[in-house]
Structure 1
Amino acid sequence: MRVAYDITSIDGQPSGVGNYTLHLLTHLLAANSGHEYMPLSNRPTCPTPLSAYAAAPASRAFPSRMLWMQCVLPGALRALRPHLCHYTNSIGPLFSSCPYVVTIHDMTLSLLPGYHPWRKQLLVRPIVALVARRARQIITVSEHARQDVIRVLRVPAERVSVTLEAAAPCFRPSPNDEQQRVRAAYRIAGPYVLYVGTLEPRKNLVRLVRAWNALRRAGKINQRLVIVGARGWQDGPIFQTVRALGCEDAITFTGYVPQGDLPALYSAADAFVFPSLSEGFGLPVVEAMACGTPVLISSAPALVEVAGGAALQVNAASEPS
């Protein structure tokens, strides 16, 4: 079977959906199932380990993933003639006859619209609904996300399947010398509490900074806060809060960190905190656990499901909590 596989979420700094997409295809290729996989990308090159595989042609005229999917990809699929497509990040072309499955990671675009750019609400949200209704099967990443998909998109339950995510094999306790190397590389001194994820409103980082600073001021903790992740939409209030509280010297913003350094950062942390308001899965929670790091999560249902009772929980809407 020829399977066209959407890798548009993979870029030079993969995280979240990009890591899901990359690692799933890597393991599908390693399975040697006899199927032929054809990566679909709006970029001219495919990242390792996909560099040996040809992808659908990129178009300089449509750098936007969504526009490329609607305007360029249908013609590419007619030329490639796959038996099946797998769209890995909620959307696909509306005008293509190729049968497909789609992975929908969460429904926050519908359930928490205020935490997404208005253009995404206006353009992407209706496409997600249309693509879901035409899909042969919808894949999602947790039972909570599955129930959200069924309820919000009004699709039959039998057409929605759960495939849980997993931490990559590199996530395991790191030796002390590796921890020290990474500490030095990112200039992290002393004990610390760690967050990993994109800097955006849905991740609840303003409240995290305020709660952590209150505990530090009260003398209840002595750990610095290390925030790992690329800058995202409307991340300005996070930095404004840090400046207003006067705690710049006690917080480290590393920016994006490649996967190879993350296990040591997790391993060296006193605790990992993930206070997100909503998630479809919450892969950093599993990564931290795999590295032997104590985990503190919000009470968001998907995080509670994924943690399986092995993490402390707090009310994401309450700083005292």
Structure 2
Amino acid sequence: MNIACDARALVGRHTGVGTWTTQVMAGLASDPSTEILMGASKPIDLPEKLHLPNVRILPRPRLPLPGSLWLHLLLPAALQQAKADVFIGSLAMVPRRSRIPGIAMVHDLTPKTHPERHTLKTRWTFNPFIKASLKAARAIVVGSEATRTELLEHFPWVAGRLHLIGYGVDQFFSPAVEPEEGEQTRQLFADGRPYILHLGTLEPRKGLLKLVEAWDRLHEITPDAPSLVLAGGEGWDIRPLVDLID
């Protein structure tokens, strides 16, 4: 089987969607009889985990195009030429006029439900296209019950094609084998105290201001509550979060 994937999340700095794309496609590539086709309108920074003989990158346009134009105008022909059997839209988008069955992976609907928490670019590349993408998709996948509920609220007609497949946890996050290892980690990140970890790009849509405020109230009530550790790449509009912590 030839499985194609929207690899735009692997262009430039990788965030959570890039991690999801890497892990899912690496899992599918573990079957040597499967060929993985990664596509994007700009050069892809392919993670080492995907440096496999059955993973290849689709030819990209001679001139870099905006991702949405590439997806809808050029990708359908590229998928046909590569003899793809299925396309995974890792950013919720599938080509509207492609003959290849598409799977739309919807991580959340926040560009639609909370546009103020996104850049103009994200809003312009998501909101005008999401409805058509959901109509075109043969199947729709979400990673959480919250997103499933929200999707059905706004697009109830997707119910028959909607599948909830929870996010996995990398082995890196397994509990420490030896007690000393756990103690070393607590010492490194929280001065030896128990801690609550938030891992993800530090940006408005993650609700981090509310999280910090909630932790601050918890700490007032219970001074020995676990510390709060925020980890992740720096996203846009991070200044309010920095000011709140300071």
TM band (smaller chain): 0.7 to 0.9
TM-score, length of structure 1 as denominator length:
0.64
Partners of 1:225 and 1:60 lie apart in 2 by 47
* C-alpha contact (below 8 Å) 1:104/1:139 kept by paired residues: yes
Q: Cα gap change, 1:26/1:95 in structure 2, threshold over 3 Å: closer, same or farther?
A: same
Partner of 2:49: 49
SS at match of 2:127: helix
Query: 5+ unaligned residues in a row in structure 1: which ranges?
Result: 244-321
Comparing 59-68 with 101-110, greater Cα deviation is found at 59-68
1:51 maps to amino acid: H
Aligned match of 1:140: 142
Compared CA separation, residues 138 and 225, structure 1 to 2 (3 A): closer
Gaps of 5+ in 2: none
Corresponding residue of 2:88: 86
Q: 1:247-267 CA distances to partner (integer Å, 9 max, x unpaired)?
A: xxxxxxxxxxxxxxxxxxxxx
- Residues 1:208 and 1:60: Cα distance change in structure 2 (over 3 Å): farther
Q: What letter matches 2:39 in structure 1? A: L
Q: TM-score, normalised by structure 2?
A: 0.81
Aligned pair count?
241
Select between 227-236 and 38-47 the one with higher mean Cα deviation: 38-47
- Is contact 1:136-1:159 (8 Å) kept? yes
Relative distance call for 1:233 and 1:132 in structure 2 (3 A) is same
The question of 1:3 aligning with 2:3 is answered: yes
Determine if the alignment matches structure 1 residue 24 to structure 2 residue 24: yes
In the alignment, the residues of structure 2 paired with residue 169 and residue 224 of structure 1 have an alpha-carbon distance, to the nearest angstrom, of 23
1:40 aligns with: 39
Mapped to 2, the partners of 1:122 and 1:15 lie a distance apart of 20
Determine helix, strand or coil for the equivalent of 1:121: helix
Alignment of 1:238-277 (within 5 A): 238-243=241-246
Q: 1:171 to 1:216 in 2, by over 3 A?
A: closer
Matches within 5 A, 1:143-292: 143-174=145-176, 175-179=178-182, 182=185, 188-191=190-193, 192-216=195-219, 220-221=223-224, 224-243=227-246
Cα distance, 1:187–1:109 mapped onto 2, change above 3 Å? closer
In the alignment, structure 1 residue 124 sits paired with structure 2 residue 126:
yes
- Judged with a 3 Å threshold, the aligned counterparts in structure 2 of structure 1 residues 105 and 210 are, in CA distance, closer, same or farther, namely closer
> Which structure has the highest helix share of the two?
2
Identity of aligned residues (%): 26
Matched residue, 1:96: 98
Q: Secondary structure at the residue paired with 2:81?
A: helix
Q: Could you tell me which residue of structure 2 aligns to residue 264 of structure 1?
A: none
> Compared with structure 1, are the counterparts of its residues 36 and 193 closer, same or farther at alpha carbon in structure 2 (3 Å cutoff)?
closer
Taking a change above 3 Å as real, the CA distance of residues 97 and 196 of structure 1, as seen in their structure-2 partners, is: same
| Aligned pairs (5 A) from 1:40-79 | 40-41=39-40, 42-52=42-52, 53-59=55-61, 61-62=63-64, 64-79=66-81
Cα pair distance change 1:159/1:209, threshold 3 Å = closer
Q: Aligned partners of 2:107, 2:145: CA distance in 1, in Å?
A: 11
Range 85-94 or range 41-50, more displaced: 41-50
Q: CA deviation at 1:135?
A: 1.2
Offset at residue 11 of structure 1 (A): 5.1
Alpha-carbon distance change, 158 to 43 in structure 1, aligned in 2, over 3 angstroms: same
